[in-house]
Chain A
């Protein structure tokens, strides 16, 4: 494909429109067109503007944040297995959310904000702790980061499971959250997560060149004039910020952040100046598609989107991988 940006924007646009068109309540494309122009059935237009549009935007933003951060993490760690949850954002957020759920909050704006806020703060706290543990003097060796991240994640995950078993009445809620799902949809969630996404993804978008340099290895990059430790720190903060904000409102959605950057790399090459923006756009499209499937397969039942991402995404990725002509593309 010669025009990757045009192509991926087109795909995103189609996914966006399909996400508005499909739901458990059937709305024909004629009616949808009418509603978008401001005419049409009152209930249907209410469903479109107040339920489907905010959900669609939330899902697109979440996909963008996870895939953008995933691409940055893969570049930062120079590891194809890296995903945005590698050094503890997801397990940290899960722990915070389950702790918050075990408390009876008053039914108020802040009471309802307690869970996403706790998830967000513990996610960042986890990354911070892992970062401090992994630091050696003035450097942060990648291996240390990964190992500290994996060990701390396991610890946090076990603690989460323990807490869930202790307070069985909240298991359904916690499980739903851990499997991913826009449970607290609506415009408020979008407004609350947007600043972090803009900040985090904005920094990543301008870090493509630095990520390219990091691919030579820490020593070479340093010799090429890059302040490696500072760059790593900034990238970690930016990616974690975007991921934590997405996870806080959408729950833990796996696989998207791992696989979309790889798809983009297979199709469009490994230059991070293109890979980051393409992953952001592609992630939004991919999660939108998963969410559409989650909504319609068993309608009016809805399946947590975190199940669909891997269930449908993994075979698709394997198919692309098998067809790929460029051996050892990494």
Chain B
């Protein structure tokens, strides 16, 4: 009898679950000035360039400022700390994964710029409240970063040419020096080593992996399968990286503390003191400062080429 009841419940479930109002039946396209498809495959329509923009990610805030739309940014997420003047913009939360939807609505934005760190549920919620949301997908190459900059510039009515030209020139300058090299020093990039016997590192497909490779290095984390894996100390010792980059230096990890870790003294980078702190925000935020990160990594890996 219970078996039947259960089947019945599952059936009712499947039937009723569809009863919510279908709010996705979109509005008819107006004679729009700007129509773009976003990272969720949604068609986003702006009648004119956005004048009141809320940014939901630090990378988005950095992009908005870089393309020259700083005056239009009226709201930002809690983590947006660059450039420093972003701090004076009203925060709409987000540090615990929860954004204040009320605060976003009260700002009356004509564009909310979301990123991949935001959930599709949040996009839906804001969309249902009548807001225009553009979901900016993460770039997987530096070339895709330029496209993202162009998209944001288009949404805000700015001209990105100068910015993208200068970024391209800087990347080209690095490429020119790195491309001919056949020597690629092995690199261990440390994101977090709260447990020094298995620190976190950048795996394949992450910006960290991308930038280390482009800077002429061999990322030992790139050999693993997960994007943000914990690599065992044994694996690090076997891979024997010649350079260690400390992405966690902003959290108080120092060169001395790495040298003092038991078991790390056999690693080539520790023996030859090739340990360098870096600002992880240059590596982890998919914004224009990725190019800064690339330049810094290239200098660390091939100091002779950049004198």
Nearest B residue (CB) for A248: B17
Find out whether the CB atom of A237 lies under 8 angstroms from the CB atom of B106.
no
Find out whether the CB atom of A51 lies under 8 angstroms from the CB atom of B129.
yes
Can you sample 20 A-B contacts with CB below 8 Å?
A25-B105, A25-B106, A43-B106, A46-B105, A47-B102, A51-B101, A52-B102, A113-B20, A124-B6, A131-B2, A185-B101, A188-B20, A188-B21, A192-B16, A192-B17, A192-B20, A195-B16, A233-B5, A299-B100, A302-B93
Q: A24-B93, A24-B102, A195-B16 are in contact. Are A183 and B24 (CB under 8 A)?
A: no
Q: A173-B97, A185-B125, A303-B96 are in contact. Are A168 and B19 (CB under 8 A)?
A: no
Q: Does A191 contact B (CB under 8 A)?
A: yes
Q: Does B33 contact A (CB under 8 A)?
A: no
Find out whether the CB atom of B13 lies under 8 angstroms from the CB atom of A120.
yes
Expressed in whole angstroms, the Cα–Cα distance for A176 and B118 within the complex equals 12
Expressed in whole angstroms, the Cα–Cα distance for A24 and B96 within the complex equals 15
B228 contacts which chain A residues (CB < 8 A)? 168-169
Q: A172-B117, A191-B20 are in contact. Are A304 and B97 (CB under 8 A)?
A: yes
Q: Does A107 contact B (CB under 8 A)?
A: yes
B210 contacts which chain A residues (CB < 8 A)? none
A43 contacts which chain B residues (CB < 8 A)? 105-106, 108
Could you say which of B16, B23, B78 contacts A301, with CB atoms under 8 Å apart? B78
Q: Does B98 contact A (CB under 8 A)?
A: yes
Expressed in whole angstroms, the Cα–Cα distance for A233 and B6 within the complex equals 11
Chain B residues within CB distance 8 Å of chain A = 2, 5-6, 9-10, 12-13, 16-24, 40-42, 78, 91-103, 105-106, 108, 116-117, 119-125, 128-129, 226-228
Q: Does A181 contact B (CB under 8 A)?
A: yes
Q: A121-B13, A169-B227 are in contact. Are A47 and B105 (CB under 8 A)?
A: yes
Expressed in whole angstroms, the Cα–Cα distance for A255 and B117 within the complex equals 29
A154 contacts which chain B residues (CB < 8 A)? none
Expressed in whole angstroms, the Cα–Cα distance for A47 and B108 within the complex equals 11
Find out whether the CB atom of B9 lies under 8 angstroms from the CB atom of A241.
yes
Q: A188-B20, A233-B2 are in contact. Are A173 and B106 (CB under 8 A)?
A: no
Expressed in whole angstroms, the Cα–Cα distance for A120 and B17 within the complex equals 10
Chain A residues within CB distance 8 Å of chain B = 23-25, 43, 46-47, 50-52, 105-113, 115-117, 120-121, 124, 128, 131, 165-169, 172-173, 175-176, 181, 183-189, 191-192, 195-196, 233, 237, 241, 299-304
Find out whether the CB atom of B98 lies under 8 angstroms from the CB atom of A24.
no
B106 contacts which chain A residues (CB < 8 A)? 25, 43, 47
B20 contacts which chain A residues (CB < 8 A)? 109, 113, 188-189, 191-192
Find out whether the CB atom of A300 lies under 8 angstroms from the CB atom of B125.
no
Q: Lowest 9 CB-CB distances: which A-B pairs, in order?
A: A188-B20, A176-B97, A302-B98, A107-B40, A168-B228, A24-B100, A300-B100, A25-B102, A25-B106
Expressed in whole angstroms, the Cα–Cα distance for A135 and B132 within the complex equals 53
Find out whether the CB atom of B17 lies under 8 angstroms from the CB atom of A304.
no
Expressed in whole angstroms, the Cα–Cα distance for A206 and B60 within the complex equals 54
Could you say which of A165, A195, A302 contacts B100, with CB atoms under 8 Å apart? A302
Could you say which of A25, A117, A120, A183 contacts B119, with CB atoms under 8 Å apart? A183
- Contacts A124-B10, A303-B96 aside, 5 further interface pairs with beta carbons under 8 A come to A25-B102, A25-B103, A112-B124, A184-B124, A196-B16
Expressed in whole angstroms, the Cα–Cα distance for A262 and B183 within the complex equals 69
Could you say which of A106, A112, A192, A301 contacts B19, with CB atoms under 8 Å apart? A192
Expressed in whole angstroms, the Cα–Cα distance for A166 and B230 within the complex equals 10
Expressed in whole angstroms, the Cα–Cα distance for A288 and B228 within the complex equals 37
Nearest A residue (CB) for B123: A107
Expressed in whole angstroms, the Cα–Cα distance for A112 and B23 within the complex equals 11
Nearest A residue (CB) for B203: A168
- The distance from the CB of B241 to the nearest CB of chain A, in whole angstroms, is 22
Find out whether the CB atom of A186 lies under 8 angstroms from the CB atom of B123.
no
Find out whether the CB atom of B100 lies under 8 angstroms from the CB atom of A301.
yes
Expressed in whole angstroms, the Cα–Cα distance for A52 and B129 within the complex equals 12
A195 contacts which chain B residues (CB < 8 A)? 12, 16, 19
A109 contacts which chain B residues (CB < 8 A)? 20, 22-24
Expressed in whole angstroms, the Cα–Cα distance for A196 and B96 within the complex equals 30
Nearest B residue (CB) for A182: B98
- The distance from the CB of A133 to the nearest CB of chain B, in whole angstroms, is 14
Nearest A residue (CB) for B98: A302
B100 contacts which chain A residues (CB < 8 A)? 23-25, 299-302
- The distance from the CB of B84 to the nearest CB of chain A, in whole angstroms, is 20
Find out whether the CB atom of A303 lies under 8 angstroms from the CB atom of B98.
yes
B105 contacts which chain A residues (CB < 8 A)? 25, 43, 46-47, 51
